[in-house]
Structures are given as structure tokens and as C-alpha cells.
Structure 1
């Protein structure tokens, strides 16, 4: 019978426990950030997950690392949705479908909209995901505009604002009607479609540099504890 050392025996259960704790932490963080935005700290996440603070810090060294684990995939999902919209043969249908999907995600997940449209949190992986999204959105908007389906003043830089507007409706009245944001997205889309009798929009869209400046300086939740990377712990 082969010798079995003490260190060999507990190794597999410990790995299972670590993975179970990691999943519990991620689920708790998603739940907290979806409802409260990025303000909750790692301590809040630990409490919500029902684990010790030390357990969270062993899995995620700072808040940026946790945000990356949660939101990189979500921003990549927005990119894949935009690519799917481009595969639709009708440029207006594809554009409107994407705006509805974008607003649905951002209206129902406050944390996603705050990290998708800000660079104050999230680390390099989230920033890279944001940068992959931008050129696809530009193509989506330009295609509908060149087809004469979208009013010419509309810009891809308007897209984050649409997501934020849907989210604001949810923050204001989501507890009264969870689907109210859909009403205002329909109104927005109606105003975006090109018509012969439209007056020009009174103010220009932000340009790329202005959007970058807004994203660099907007910290939706404000300071919330010790610094961890560029985010907060």
C-alpha cells in the first residue's frame, strides 16, 4: 500500500472549497453591483457572500481585480451584440435592435453601466474590452446613417448616453415599473430615425476626445475606501 502524506490528503477538498468560495464571491458581487452600482467595497461583498474578508482578498487582491472578473465578459457581450446587429440585412433594424439590447443590459445592471462608460474603475482588461466595443459601434451607426435610415447628426458617441438614460429611468422609477425604460427607449429610437421634416439637433454630439475625457473623470459611485489599483477596495 503506497504511503500517503498528510499534505496530500486535504489538497483536493481545499481546491474545491476555493472554487466554491470564488463563485460565491462573484455571485454576491454581481448582485450587489447590479443593484447599487460600483460603490460597495470588498468588505461589503464579503458580508453579502457570507465569507470572511480575508477569503475575498485571497481571491481578489483589490476591487479592480474583482470588477475585471465580472464585467470584462459583459462588455465583450455588448461587442458581440453589436456584431450580431451588423449581420442583420436591414441597417435600421440592426441599429434599433442593438440600442434596445444595450439599454436592457444597462437599465437592469447599474454596475455594468457605470463601468462600461467610465475608466475610473476596472483595470486594463476592462479598458481593453471597452476599446474593442468602440469601432463596432462606429460601424453600426455609420451603416445606418449612410443608408439614409438614421439622422445624420447621430454619432456612435451618443450610444453611452442612451445607456445612461435608460439606467436613470430605472433608478428613478424601476421600483414602480421595472419595464418603464422601454417606453423612453422607444421615444429615443423614434427621434433617431431620419425624416424629411426634422429640424437639426440643437447641440452636437461629444467627439471621441470629449467622450474619453468624460470617461476618465466620471467616478459614478465616488470615493469608497482604500485605493486598489485605479479602483477602490
Structure 2
């Protein structure tokens, strides 16, 4: 019995996803020196089949970056909608970011992006979109920090400076996770420990409560 168009579409989507999964691993290991042959070998398919889905390795890399950029904003927006106080939502956001650093597929994405950035192989439009993606994350943090300061859950201070500190801290965690995943997963602090750096001291909290009463 011949396959239906819907079944053929599912097969094509599954094959494309398989190629992208392999490409993510291969690019993470080899950087932009990876070839279509490397990716096809990892996916256990012929080069001809790989070329049926992607014109070249640059097209595969572009699809991986697009996938990363498409997933990020929607997840950030979802985290803004979770119930709880601003401090609790900030903790949820940080927990999500830290947990993602411990997943192999996330680290592979960071590795391939770093390879492309340092090799100067990332097209300008992708570099710009990646910058906007990161800026959206920082703006989300800033919004939650401002709301958290108003509720007395976050220490007073310039929100932009607090965001810069938070961003630098998370960037350091990312580098640690990429360089030594095993050690990272053993010793990485949870979100509550990280957020202690941004919580008001007892005197500041008491002052905030007096002002709000």
C-alpha cells in the first residue's frame, strides 16, 4: 500500500531533524571545518541523501542557528507568563538558563556558535539576529529585576548594572559548562544560590517594607 502524502511529509521532517541533530554534534566537534561527508557519516546516511535536504554545509549551519533563535524568544516569553512574584519568576528564568547549560545538546549549540564567531564564518545577518536574541534575554531580566526591586525581592541599584553582572555570571557558567561539563554538572549552583547575590540585605528589606506600608 503506497504511503500517504502526510506519511511522506513526516518521513521528510524526521530525516531533516536527524541530519540537523548530527550536524549539531559534528559542528560542535570540528567547527566550520566540518564537511557534508562528516555530517552524513554521523547521521548514517549517504551524502546524496544529505544533499537532497540541504544545498551545502552553510545551509545546514544556517538552519541550526535559525532553530536556536526560533526556540529562544518563545521560551523567554513563556517564562514571563509563569505565576508568582517577580523574584520567583526571576528564579525560574535563572533556573531554566542554568539547567540548559547542563544539557549536551545545548552545549553543542554554544560550541558551534563559538566556532563560527571566532572563525568569522557567521554571516552578518545571523550575527545581528543572535545579538537581538541575547538582548531580548537581558531585557527580560531587567524587567524582572525592576519589578523585583519594587516588591522588595531584589537589591536596590541600577538595573542595567545588575543585568550586566547577571549576564557576566551566566556567561562564565556557560564557558565552564563547555570546558568541563562533568565538573559543571557536579558543582553548578542552583538558582537560589545565584540569586542570593541580588537579594536585599535585612536593613534594605526593612527600609523597603517601611516605605511600602
Q: Judge same fold: TM > 0.5, yes or no.
A: yes
TM-score of the superposition, structure 1-length normalised?
A: 0.58
Are 1:106 and 2:101 an aligned pair?
A: yes
Alignment of 1:84-163 (within 5 A): 84-87=78-81, 88-108=83-103, 109-114=106-111, 115=113, 120-121=121-122, 124=125, 127-128=128-129, 131-132=132-133, 134-135=135-136, 137-148=138-149, 149-150=154-155, 152=158, 153-155=161-163, 158-159=166-167, 161-163=168-170
Superimposed CA distance per residue, residues 136-155 of structure 1 (whole angstroms, 9 cap, x where no aligned partner): 53143233235311553212
**3-state DSSP class of the match of 1:191?**
helix
**3-state DSSP class of the match of 1:147?**
helix
Unaligned runs of 5+ in 2: 205-213
Rounded to whole Å, the distance in 2 between the matches of 1:181 and 1:71 is 29
- More helix by percentage: 2
Rounded to whole Å, the distance in 1 between the matches of 2:102 and 2:32 is 17
Unaligned runs of 5+ in 1: 1-8, 199-233
Which residue matches 2:211?
Answer: none
Aligned length: 185
Q: 186-195 or 126-135, which moves further after superposition?
A: 126-135
**3-state DSSP class of the match of 2:189?**
helix
Of structures 1 and 2, the one scoring higher in RCO (CA 8 A, sep 6+) is 1
